[in-house]
A and B are shown apart, each in its own frame.
Chain A
Amino acid sequence: MRKPGWIVYGLLAAVVLGSMFPLWWSVVVASHDSTVLARDRFPVLPGGNFFRNAATVLDTVPFWRATLNSIIVSTTVSASVVFFSTLAGYAFAKLRFRGSGPLLVFVVATMAVPTQLGVVPLYQVMARLGWTGELTAVIVPGLVTAFGVFWMTQYLRQAVPAELIEAARVDGASMFRTFWHVGLPASRPAASMLFLFTFVATWTNFFWPFIVLGPSNPTLPIALQQLQAAHFVDYSLVLAGAVLGTIPLLVLFVVAGRQLVSGIMQGAVKQ
Chain B
Amino acid sequence: MGAATTAPPATSAVPVPPTPHRGRRGRLARLDVTVSPYLYIAPFFVLFLVTGLFPLLYTGYVALHDWDQIMGRGEFVGLTNFVDILTGRGFWRALANTVSIFLLSSVPQIAAALLIAALLDRNLRARTFWRMGVLLPYVVAPVAVALIFNNLFADRFGLVNLLLETVGLEPVRWHSDRLASHIAIATMVNFRWTGYNALILLAAMQAIPKDLYEQAALDGANAWRSFWSVTVPMLRPTIIFVVITSTIGGLQIFDEPKMYDQYGRGGADQQWQTLTIYLYELGWTRADFGAASAVAVLLFLIIVTFGILNFLLTRRIAHDDGGRR
Contact = CB atoms under 8 A, between A and B. Distances in A.
A209 to B, nearest CB: 10
B186 to A, nearest CB: 15
Main secondary structure of the interface of A (DSSP, over half): helix
B134 A19 contact: yes
Contacts of B280: 211
A57 to B, nearest CB: 12
Counting contact residues on chain B (CB < 8 A from A), the size range is: 35 or more
A88 B43 contact: yes
A113 B238 contact: no
Nearest to A42: B162
A206 B141 contact: yes
A38 interface: yes
Contacts of A85: 44
Counting contact residues on chain A (CB < 8 A from B), the size range is: 35 or more
Interface string A72-111: 0000000000001101101110111100100100010010
B115 to A, nearest CB: 8
B51 A122 contact: yes
B147 A162 contact: no
Which of B44, B142, B280, B296: most chain A CB closer than 10 A? Answer: B44
A1 B8 contact: no
A258 B128 CA distance: 7
B154 A235 contact: yes
B116 interface: yes
A45 interface: no
B2 interface: yes
Contact of A107 (B44, B56, B140, B297): B44
A41 B162 contact: yes
Nearest to A145: B44
Interface string A149-172: 100000001101111001100101
Contacts of A246: 139-141, 144
Contacts of A16: 130, 133-134, 136
Interface stretch (A47-55, A187-195, A249-257): A249-257
A94 B3 CA distance: 12
Interface string A244-271: 0110011011000110110011111101
12 contacts: A22-B137, A84-B44, A140-B47, A146-B48, A157-B1, A211-B284, A224-B143, A229-B262, A238-B150, A239-B151, A241-B147, A265-B202
Interface of B: 1-4, 8, 10-11, 14, 16, 18-19, 29, 32-34, 36-38, 40-41, 43-45, 47-48, 50-56, 58-59, 62, 116, 119-120, 122-124, 128, 130-145, 147-152, 154, 157, 159, 162, 191, 195-196, 199-204, 206-207, 237-238, 241, 248, 252, 254-255, 258-259, 261-262, 264, 276, 279-280, 283-284, 289, 292-293, 296-297, 299-300, 303, 307
